[in-house]
Amino acid sequence: MGSVAPLVKENKTSGSVKPIVDLTRSDMERVNALILSKAGSDVEMIPEVANHLISSGGKRLRPMLTLATAALFGYRGEHHIRLATSVEFMHTATLLHDDVVDESDLRRGKSSARMIWGNQASVLVGDFLLGQAFRMMVETGSMEALSVLSDAAAVIAEGEVLQLSVSKKMETTEDDYIAVIRGKTAELFAAAAEVGPIIAGATAADRKALRDYGMALGIAFQLVDDVLDYGGDSADLGKNVGDDFREGKVTLPIILAYQRGNDDEKAFWRNAIEGGENDDAALEKARFLLEKHAALADSVDRALSYGEAARAALSGLPRSDGRHALEEVIDFCIARIN
């Protein structure tokens, strides 16, 4: 699929990553250096595979969250660099394993690692990066950070297995869907935002506020991603429009359109998602039905609600450049819809 005009055009928010990028610039340079160093190995295939994905330039939102939330509480040490790098490695490991799980051929607009080096390398290099992530956490000496990030590792995998269990099943409920994205996506945002205050020695209340912020932000982020799968531009998206549809992923837009559809439409969705009748014509019809039932717009509304929850979680903190930067990230994540 080439470029496709976005289905959702309402611009309800704006926002920018610039404040958080500016705030964390010098720390991120150190994180990027540590990423390259810790993805190194005498076994040549490891840096080859790891750097293919690392150099393809995700936005590195998650490590920026760790750096920004540590700075918010005045942290002055070195360990936030290691924790931010651990968070990014956990994310990279998940992407490598996801590509095997989804049988994806594109990731961030490039051939996925599994297409070049095979499933084996993707699985094993992901395992290596996860091991390196835990090594760096140990180096910080923070058992609390280890606790949060090991919880996250288990919960992320649980969310991914849940996604697999409900895959190609039209009886998936909105609650199932939220449980999936809470695990597979939001848990790492929450952990990334929680280990910042932990390493800075913030209060339990502040830890919880930042965790809540990360969780709501992560849910909003994934909701928007799932909307973009039906209306984004594949160059921006870094994957093909309609990938979720072809993989039989039951995301919120589909759940809403199915609930609101007549019997014929329900049959169409079952054939497409459960029966694999998902060619380009079916994708066009799916997009028509999503628009007919305002399923994409209503999914964006859900994302906006979670965005408000993320903003509310920060409301007890003193106003500062750091808090402002975190608020702008919320708007940015949702404004990707344009």
**Half-sphere exposure (Cβ direction) of 288: Cα atoms closer than 13 Å:** 9
CA 129 to chain centre: 18
Task: State the number of binding residues for a second copy (CB under 8 A).
Answer: 41
**Which amino acid does the sequence have at 313?**
A
Regarding 275 and contact with a second copy (CB under 8 A), the answer is: no
Regarding 13 and contact with a second copy (CB under 8 A), the answer is: no
CB of 11 or CB of 173, closer to a second copy: 173
Least distance from a second copy to the Cβ atom of residue 127, Å = 4
Instruction: State phi, psi for 98 to the nearest 5 degrees.
Output: -60, -40
Residues within window 71-130 making contact with a second copy, judged by CB under 8 A: 97, 100-101, 119-121, 123-125, 127-128, 130
Query: CA-CA distance, 233 to 216, in Å (whole number)?
Result: 25
CB of 31 or CB of 130, closer to a second copy: 130
Regarding 243 and contact with a second copy (CB under 8 A), the answer is: no
Query: CA-CA distance, 167 to 55, in Å (whole number)?
Result: 31
CB of 160 or CB of 225, closer to a second copy: 160
**Among 2, 13, 59, residue whose Cα is nearest residue 337:** 13
Tokens linked to 116: 């070049």
Regarding 45 and contact with a second copy (CB under 8 A), the answer is: yes
Q: Is the separation of the CB atoms in 257 and 269 below 8 Å? A: yes
Q: Is the separation of the CB atoms in 120 and 108 below 8 Å? A: no
Residue of the chain from 1, 33, 43, 116 that contacts a second copy (CB under 8 A): 43
Binding site for a second copy (CB under 8 A): 41, 43-46, 97, 100-101, 119-121, 123-125, 127-128, 130-132, 134-135, 137-138, 141, 143, 146-147, 150-158, 160-162, 164-165
